[in-house]
């Protein structure tokens, strides 16, 4: 997916859409009062999983998008 911005064509990074859909799903499921803090915790958990040698959600999402 590309987004036109004046004369520049910007591309959404691979896996980004899947990453944001995952966040949106969790926000809708949990209904947090502080969405920004919830998002920070959500992404921190994903980062910890990646650093622990688990699944990289961005790489996994990129594979799903292809």
More confident residue, 54 or 44: 44
Return the domain boundaries, the chain.
34-65
Alpha-carbon distances of 28 from 32, 49, 51, rounded to whole Å: 8, 22, 26
In this predicted structure, what is the pLDDT of residue 29?
Answer: 97
Instruction: Supply the mean pLDDT for the chain.
Output: 84
Q: Which residue has the tokens 């969405």?
A: 35
The percentage of the chain sitting over the pLDDT mark of 90, rounded to a whole number, equals 36
């Amino acid at each position: 997916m590309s987004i036109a911005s004046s004369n520049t064509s910007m591309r959404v990074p691979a896996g980004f859409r899947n990453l944001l859909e995952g966040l949106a799903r969790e926000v809708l499921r949990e209904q947090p009062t502080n969405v920004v803090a919830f998002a920070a915790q959500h992404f921190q958990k994903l980062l910890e999983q990646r650093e622990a040698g688990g699944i990289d959600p961005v790489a996994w999402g990129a594979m799903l998008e292809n």
